[in-house]
Every structure is written in C-alpha cells, then in structure tokens.
Structure 1
Amino acid sequence: MRGLRRWWDDTAGGLPAPFWYLWSGLLVNRAGAFAVLFLSLYLTDARGASESLAGAVVGAYGAGGAVGVLLGGVLADRWGRRATLLAAHLGAAGLMTALAFSRQLGVIAVLAALVGVLHSMPSPAFVAAIVDVVPESRRSRAFNLQFWAFNLGMAVASLLAGVLAEASFLALFLVDAAATLAAAVIIAVKVPETLPRHRPAAPAAVRRPGLATALTDRTFLVFVALTFVLAVLTMQTSTIMPLAMRADGLGPSAYGVVVALGGTLIVLGQLFVPRLIEGYRKATVLSVSTGLMALGFGALALADDLPVYLGAAVVWTIGSMLAAPPNAQINAELAPPELRARYQSVFYLTFPAASFVAPALGGLSLQHLGERHWLVVGGLGVVAAVGHLFAGPARERRVATRHALRPQRPEAVSGSGRR
C-alpha cells in the first residue's frame, strides 16, 4: 500500500482542486462524445452520401474548428477561461440536438461547421486554465492526467457508440448533447475563473496583437507544423479508418473495438509514461513517438481483418501516449504568460485543421489509392519524426533563455484558482 500511495503521489499529488474539476468536466464531455466518431458512417449509411461528400462534410466540422480554436483563445484571454468554457459547451449541446433532427445534407454541413466552432473553443481555455492554477513543477503530471482523462472518456464513448450507431443514430447525437450539457454544469458549479485579475504589464515585445505575436514566432510555428502532422495521423482513426474498415467488411462495432482498445491502453498505461520518458530530451521522445505512429498507420496497408487493425492500433497508441506529456510541456514553455491562451489557440489550430485536411484529402486518397493511402500517411509521419530531431535544439535554447530572464519568485496557487 505504501508503494501504491507513493506512486499516486508522484503521479497526481499536489494538484489543486480547480484542476480536478476541469479534469472531471473534460472526462464527462469525452465519455459522451459519440457523434463525430461516426459522422462519416452516419452520412454514408443513413443519408446516402458518397465517400468524397462525406469527407467534405466532416471536413466542414474541421474548418469550423479552425475558427473556433482561434476565437476560443482570444475570448479566454479577454472574457476569461470559465466564461469561454460555459459558452462553448452550452452552444454545442444545442447545436448537436439540432444536428440530430436534420435531414438535408446542406443543413447538416452547416451545423457540422458550427459544432466544429464550439467544440474547438474550449481547448485553449482548458489548457490556459490548467497552466494558470498548476505550478510549473507539476504541469507535466497535470498534462499527463488531462490526456488520460480525454482517452478514458474516449474509450467509454467508443464502446457505447458502436452499439448506439447500429441501433439508432438519433440516440448517438442526443447522448452527445446530454454529455456536453453535463460538462457545462460541472464547470458552472465548481470551476472558478482562473484568469488573473491583475496581470503585470506585458513587455514591449508582446504588446502587438496577441495572435500576430504567435503567428510570427518561428520557433513556435515549426513546433506547430510538426504537431499538425501528428494530428493528421491521429485524425485517421476518426475520419478515414472507419471507411477503410467498412471496405474490408468490418462494421461499426468492430471499429468501436479498435478505438476502444487504444483508449483502454492509454487508461492502463498513461500514468506510467512520465517515469518511462524521464531523463530523455523532449525532442527525442517526440521523434520516437511520431515514428511509432507512422509505423502503426503505415501497417494498415496490410490490414484485411480485425486482428491486424488491433495490432496496428497498439503501435500507434503507444506512440501517442509517449508524445502527450512533452508535446503539452513544450507548448506551455514557448508561450509568453501574457498571451497564454492565444498561443494555445494557435497550437490547437492544428487539430481542427487536421480534422479538415484528413477527411477532405483522405477520402479522395482512399478512393483513388486504396490501401496505398496508408503508405502516404506513414511517410508523413517519418518526415515529422526527423523534423523533431532537427527542431529540438532551437526550442531548448528558447526555453533556457526565458528561464534565465524570468524573475525568480515562487508561484502561488490558491484554492480558488486565482493568483
């Protein structure tokens, strides 16, 4: 018992109460996030759309997300983290309900784009709030637990969604809306505003419009570009892989098992990752992890039955597990405190952008290249893995310089989440 207690203290000890309420809201939200996982199958099976048209509609979701993540970053720095989270969750619940009862493909595409906006708005606010309330020395633990909660919720969602999709697509959308509303309630009742009320004046170097600063930061943008490739790989599981599995004669329940396997592996193993990668350079860890993801998705070129899909899922899931803590740490380290949410928004732009690119181009690629599509995906991953090795030293110099210039003072964290 002492050993277990010591392990838990090392993994999650010392994190403030606001973090755990944010963590709980994220977990509830993701546990009910059914609809986007099966949107491409819903469009092709229930609405008669072609693979290319389905990819375009799902791509509209990603395009909306690109707007939403930037809007969320700006609002989180102006309105506050809590206000942005509440507005996004309440709006998404309403739009998801409307999407459940829509029948025309044009209306579905518009609603998908709007849902994409509101689904992406919380990302920079969530992470900025975590950075606000968690001391720097404990942020690796917090980010690891955040990734763990996300995937614990996804594992639950995937298992339930496979059953719901075969029984009723309507239920799929309505349960998603209910889970989003439940997350909003947790945030409204338990999460305080974490945006500091009295912030120090920003240095001259960051008094330009915040997004302009982030979008002209070369070191940061190289990191964002490499993360975009990783996001494109990750998005294959929710956009193109369902179509590939259907072409191999596998139904929604089989797809649910593959996605649930990845979530289960993360739930069982993610808490051990910080010790596994401790002592290694972040660039090295990211290179290895991206290489594993490239190998896993590339192996789908040989997949014809469920066991091969499951084996490939093990490989790419291990890669994503290793990537999560250093990816989040680098993002937090490169962002100036005065522009925390805006930098987060540019970073998280990679995910809705990938949500657009992966289905829009992936649908065409799968239709015309067939199984060779997965060789292209694997090749992109190899390029990103090499890129991390070359980009790592510049990131390390930036962080070292910032630490040297930062005033040495303890970081206070109160129970209310305000500094």
Structure 2
Amino acid sequence: MHAIRGWFRDTTGGLPTTFWYLWTGTLINRLGSFVLVFLAIYLTQERGFSAAQAGLVLGAWGVGGAVGTTAGGTLSDRWGRRPTLFTAHLGAATMMLALGFARDLWTVAAGALLLGLFAEAARPAYGAMMIDVVPERDRLRAFSLNYWAVNLGFACAAVLAGFAAQAGYLLLFVVNAATTLITALIIFVKVRETRTVVVGMPRGGAPSGALRTILNDRVYLGFVALNLLGALVFLQHISMLPIAMADSGLSPATYGSVIALNGVMIVAGQLFVPRLIKGRSRSHVLALAAVVTGVGFGLTAFADVAWFYGLTVLIWTLGEMLHSPSNATLIAELSPAELRGRYQGVFSLSWQLAGAAAPILGGLVREQAGNATLWFGCAAIGLVMAVGHLLSGPARERRAVALRTVGAAAVLTTQSTAPQPAAPKAAEPVATSQG
C-alpha cells in the first residue's frame, strides 16, 4: 500500500492548479464525446449515406479542422490561450446541435466543416497552455495524465454512446454539446491567461516572419510529416473500422464495446508508461510504437468476429500508448516559446489533413482494392514511419537541446534587464553597550 501511495504521489503530485482545471475540462468533454465515435455509423445507417458520402462528410470535418487549427494557433499567440479556448468551445457546442438537426448531404457536410473548425481551433491553444504551465521536468507525466483523462472519457463515451444511439441519435449530439459547454464554463471561470511575452516578442504576438520560420524548420516539418502518416492509419478506427465491422454483421453496440477496449487499456496502463520509457531514446520508442500500431491495424484484414477485432484494437492501442507521451514531449521541446501556439497549430494541422484524407482514401481503397488491401497498407505505413523516426531522431534531439539553450538564455536576459529594487539606505550606527 505504501508503494502504491508513493507511485500515485510521484505520478500526480506537484503539478500546477491550472493543469488540473484543464485536465478536468478534458475529462468532462471526453465523457460526452459521442458524435465523432459514431458519426460514420450515423451517416450510413441513420441518414442512408453511402460509404463514399460518409467519407466526404468526415473529410469536410477534417477540412474545417485544418482551418481551425491554423487559426487557433495564430489566435493563441496573438489573442491569448484563454479567449481562444473559450470561443472555440462555445462555437463547437453550437455547431454540434446544428449538425444533429441537419438532414441532407450538403447541409450535414457544411455542419461537419464548421464543427471541425471550432472544435479543432481549441487544440493549439490547449497544447500551448499545457506547455506554458507545466515545467519541462514534469511534462512527460503531465501529458500522460492528460492522455489518460482523454481515454477514460473516450472509453466511457464509446460504451454509453452505443446504448444512447438506440434511444435516438439526436441524444448523442445533445449530450456532446452539453459537455463541451461545461468545459467552456470551466475555462471561463477557473483558467487564467498563461501566454507570456518573451524577449524580442512584440506586444501583439509573435515576431514577424513567424510563418517563414516554421516553413524553414525542416526538422520540425519532417516530424509533422511522420505524424501525418501515423494519423492516416490511426483515424481508420473511426472511419473504415466501423464500416468493416458492420459488413461482418456486427452491431453499432458491438463496435462501441470493441473500440472501448482502446480507452480501457489506456486507462489501465498509461500511467505506468512514463516510468517504462523514461531515459530511453525517444526515436527508438516512436519507431517501436509505429511498428506495433501498423501490425495491429494490419491484422484487421483477417478479422471477422468481435473478439478478433478486439484483439487488433488491443495491439494498436499498445503502440498508441508508447507513442503519445514521447510525441507530446518532443512537440513541446521543438516549439520555440514565442511561436508555441503556431507550432502547436502546425502539428494539429497534420491531424486535420489526415482527418480530411483518411476517410476519403480509406473509402476509395476499400471500394476499389478491397478491405484487406486497406489494412495491409496501414501496416506498410507503420514500417515506413519506424524507419523515418530512426533516421530523423538525432537531428530532432540536437534541435531540442539548442532550443533549451536559447530558452535559458532568454530567461537570464529577462532577469538581468528587469528593474532592480532600490538599494536600501545605510543603517544609522547603533550604540552598543561595552559592558
């Protein structure tokens, strides 16, 4: 028992209060995140859309998200993290309801696009705020705790949504909107602005030439490109996997239970991962994660019953668990402080591009080349990613060290140029007894 208490203290202790407010908001929001989990099934079974049309709608979500993350990254650097988060959550809650009442294809697609825009605009601001408030030494466990909350909510939502859908799909949209609104209220009431002005940064935001700086950062863009490949694979679990399971004669509730294994496994084991990978080469961890994830998705080609689908989910979830904390800490270390929101936005953009492309490409490959080709292709991408991480890892670590050095120098400069308190006047001599 003493060992368990010590582990819990080492895992959760000493983190800033703002982190825990953000963590709580994330958990509440994810507990109601029904819509994206079941959107493909909703579109094909409730609205009667084809797999290609469903892919088009999910792609519209991704396009909106691409615009949202770009705008969210810029706004979080210029306007501030807090107002960007609050506005994005309010807009997402509103559009969630609007999408629930939409009926024809183009109205649904437009609603998905706007929902993606607002929902994903929050990501860069959230990521930048997390880096702002959590010291570098604590980020690995902080990101693991946050990821744990995301998946605890996801696991519960996936199971509950399967039963809620039987009562009516509109309920999914209403609950999702309500939890998003609660998160917005937590941010408004409890979270303060965390953006700070760095030496050399103008008052309005990041220095001029920010976009050029990012576009010239080949190390970071290479890392983003690898993440794009991984996202194209990973997002098949919410686009083509539910359709594949439906073709195997499995119900939406079964899909909800199977995909919930992802969250259950992460909830059960994610908090132990930081100790497992601490001190190990991040490039090697990311390469291993890519291989395991690829194998898990590749085995889906052979699945035709619920337990087999569940086994594939458990395998690629293990890869996800290894990938997430190393990935998050690396993003933080590769982001210059004055461009933190924009760098987070560019990284999030890779997910949104994948969100637009994954369902469309997945649907086309599945219809034109067959189900097995789609999943074998996912396995091949995993191997390509592993090689990419091993080759690019040393350059990333050198860049991280260089940015830490620059950051430390900026802190010293700020301290040396800060107004110093006036020197106290010399004290009057005090007569003492000579005894």
TM range (shorter): over 0.9
State the one-letter code of the partner of 1:345.
G
Is structure 2 residue 330 aligned with structure 1 residue 330?
yes
State the one-letter code of the partner of 2:356.
F
Please tell me whether the aligned partners of residues 215 and 346 of structure 1 are also in contact (alpha carbons under 8 angstroms): no
Rounded to whole Å, the distance in 1 between the matches of 2:6 and 2:244 is 45
Please tell me whether the aligned partners of residues 265 and 317 of structure 2 are also in contact (alpha carbons under 8 angstroms): yes
Give the TM-score, by structure 2 length: 0.91
In structure 2, the partner of 1:148 is: 148
State the one-letter code of the partner of 1:59.
G
In structure 2, the partner of 1:66 is: 66
State the one-letter code of the partner of 2:335.
A
CA displacement, residues 209-244 of structure 1 (integer Å, 9 cap, x when unaligned)? 323322221000000011111111211111110001
> For residues 304-315 of structure 1, what are the structure 2 equivalents within 5 Å?
304-315=304-315
Q: What displacement does 1:202 show?
A: 4.0
In structure 1, the partner of 2:373 is: 372
Rounded to whole Å, the distance in 2 between the matches of 1:286 and 1:348 is 18
State the one-letter code of the partner of 2:49.
A
CA displacement, residues 35-92 of structure 1 (integer Å, 9 cap, x when unaligned)? 1111111111111111111111111001100000111100111111110111011111
Unaligned runs of 5+ in 2: 415-435
In structure 2, the partner of 1:340 is: 340
> For residues 17-416 of structure 1, what are the structure 2 equivalents within 5 Å?
17-196=17-196, 198-202=197-201, 207-368=207-368, 369-407=370-408
Rounded to whole Å, the distance in 2 between the matches of 1:405 and 1:27 is 35
In structure 1, the partner of 2:420 is: none
Question: Which has the bigger relative contact order, CA under 8 A and spacing at least 6?
Answer: 1
Please tell me whether the aligned partners of residues 200 and 207 of structure 2 are also in contact (alpha carbons under 8 angstroms): no
CA displacement, residues 1-56 of structure 1 (integer Å, 9 cap, x when unaligned)? 32122111221211010000001111111111111111111111111111111111
SS at the partner of 1:240?
helix
Please tell me whether the aligned partners of residues 61 and 115 of structure 1 are also in contact (alpha carbons under 8 angstroms): yes
Rounded to whole Å, the distance in 2 between the matches of 1:389 and 1:38 is 36
SS at the partner of 1:69?
helix
State the one-letter code of the partner of 2:165.
A
Q: What displacement does 1:396 show?
A: 1.1
Cα 1:339–1:148, aligned 2, differ >3 Å: closer, same or farther?
Answer: same
Q: What displacement does 1:393 show?
A: 0.6
SS at the partner of 2:194?
coil
Cα 1:405–1:61, aligned 2, differ >3 Å: closer, same or farther?
Answer: closer
State the one-letter code of the partner of 1:401.
A
State the one-letter code of the partner of 2:392.
A
Question: More deviation in 264-273 or 33-42?
Answer: 33-42
Q: What displacement does 1:273 show?
A: 0.2
Please tell me whether the aligned partners of residues 163 and 253 of structure 1 are also in contact (alpha carbons under 8 angstroms): yes
Please tell me whether the aligned partners of residues 25 and 186 of structure 2 are also in contact (alpha carbons under 8 angstroms): yes
Please tell me whether the aligned partners of residues 224 and 350 of structure 2 are also in contact (alpha carbons under 8 angstroms): yes
SS at the partner of 1:125?
helix
Q: What displacement does 1:354 show?
A: 1.0
Rounded to whole Å, the distance in 1 between the matches of 2:380 and 2:29 is 33
Rounded to whole Å, the distance in 1 between the matches of 2:240 and 2:151 is 19
SS at the partner of 1:222?
helix
Please tell me whether the aligned partners of residues 290 and 385 of structure 2 are also in contact (alpha carbons under 8 angstroms): yes
Q: What displacement does 1:172 show?
A: 1.0
Aligned-pair identity (%):
48
Please tell me whether the aligned partners of residues 63 and 355 of structure 2 are also in contact (alpha carbons under 8 angstroms): yes
Question: More deviation in 361-370 or 128-137?
Answer: 361-370
Rounded to whole Å, the distance in 1 between the matches of 2:111 and 2:285 is 39
SS at the partner of 2:235?
helix
Q: What displacement does 1:268 show?
A: 0.7
Please tell me whether the aligned partners of residues 166 and 252 of structure 1 are also in contact (alpha carbons under 8 angstroms): no
The structure that has the greater radius of gyration is 2
Rounded to whole Å, the distance in 2 between the matches of 1:330 and 1:257 is 32
Rounded to whole Å, the distance in 2 between the matches of 1:290 and 1:180 is 31
Rounded to whole Å, the distance in 1 between the matches of 2:9 and 2:199 is 33
Q: What displacement does 1:207 show?
A: 3.5
Cα 1:399–1:199, aligned 2, differ >3 Å: closer, same or farther?
Answer: closer
SS at the partner of 2:228?
helix
Q: What displacement does 1:400 show?
A: 2.0
Give the TM-score, by structure 1 length: 0.95
State the one-letter code of the partner of 2:234.
T
SS at the partner of 2:304?
coil
Rounded to whole Å, the distance in 2 between the matches of 1:309 and 1:394 is 38
Rounded to whole Å, the distance in 2 between the matches of 1:351 and 1:265 is 23
State the one-letter code of the partner of 1:177.
A
Rounded to whole Å, the distance in 1 between the matches of 2:58 and 2:290 is 25
Unaligned runs of 5+ in 1: 413-419
Rounded to whole Å, the distance in 2 between the matches of 1:347 and 1:407 is 24
Q: What displacement does 1:253 show?
A: 0.7
Q: What displacement does 1:111 show?
A: 0.6
Please tell me whether the aligned partners of residues 61 and 356 of structure 1 are also in contact (alpha carbons under 8 angstroms): yes
Query: In angstroms, what is the RMSD of aligned CA positions?
Result: 1.6
Rounded to whole Å, the distance in 2 between the matches of 1:92 and 1:129 is 19
Rounded to whole Å, the distance in 2 between the matches of 1:362 and 1:76 is 33
Please tell me whether the aligned partners of residues 274 and 325 of structure 2 are also in contact (alpha carbons under 8 angstroms): yes
State the one-letter code of the partner of 1:211.
L
In structure 2, the partner of 1:415 is: none
Rounded to whole Å, the distance in 1 between the matches of 2:295 and 2:226 is 17
Rounded to whole Å, the distance in 1 between the matches of 2:212 and 2:12 is 36
Rounded to whole Å, the distance in 1 between the matches of 2:193 and 2:225 is 31
Rounded to whole Å, the distance in 2 between the matches of 1:155 and 1:215 is 37
In structure 2, the partner of 1:417 is: none
Please tell me whether the aligned partners of residues 81 and 128 of structure 1 are also in contact (alpha carbons under 8 angstroms): yes
Q: What displacement does 1:398 show?
A: 1.1
Please tell me whether the aligned partners of residues 198 and 337 of structure 2 are also in contact (alpha carbons under 8 angstroms): no
Rounded to whole Å, the distance in 2 between the matches of 1:10 and 1:375 is 41
State the one-letter code of the partner of 1:377.
C
